[in-house]
Amino acid sequence: MGLVLCGQDNYKRGGDIKMVVSRVSYKEEIVKMLMNDVEQFNGWRRRSNVMKLDLAGACLSFANIAGADLSEVELGGADLSYADLSRVNFSKANLKKANFRGANLSEANFTEACLYQADFSGCIFKGNSFHEANLWNAKGVPSEIISRYIEEFQSSLRSE
């Protein structure tokens, strides 16, 4: 099960081919660990104190990564469609233009996440936190979540 970069050139920016290969291999190993054993992945993150992972463009469609700690992870342009993302911690993650189409997002935490132009069409939402998240131009977000988001924003303006 290898990493598919979903047609995006997220890693080749003027570096030599060895750097590209090592970066893809690094992403591939991280994604493999995440998909094979979420608890091992979470433990590795805690032990190694790795916070800023670059998994931009990763293809995690149909993956079951429920309960994963993806806080502060770079997942811009990632394909997370039809995945089980219940209880995933996406706080402070960059999910710009991510595809969540049809995913189970029950109890997922998006606090302070960048969700600019993310696609949430057909997702399952239940007990989510979008506190201070950037939902600008996100598609498919239910109106009750948008209403709560606006209320929280207005409340924060009044308390300043």
Per-domain residue ranges of the chain: 1-160
Bridge partners of residue 89, in order along the sequence: 69, 109
Q: How far apart are CA 101 and CA 150, in angstroms?
A: 23
pLDDT score at 155? 83
Q: How far apart are CA 113 and CA 68, in angstroms?
A: 15
> How would you write the pLDDT of the chain (160 residues) with one tens digit per residue?
333 334 333 333 344 333 333 455 788 899 999 999 999 999 999 998 776 899 999 999 999 999 999 999 999 999 999 999 999 999 999 999 999 999 999 999 999 999 999 999 999 999 999 999 999 999 999 998 888 888 887 887 887 7
pLDDT score at 23? 53
pLDDT score at 85? 98
Least Cα distance to 121 among 80, 152, 77, 93 occurs for 80
Fold for domain 1-160?
Pectate Lyase C-like (2.160.20)
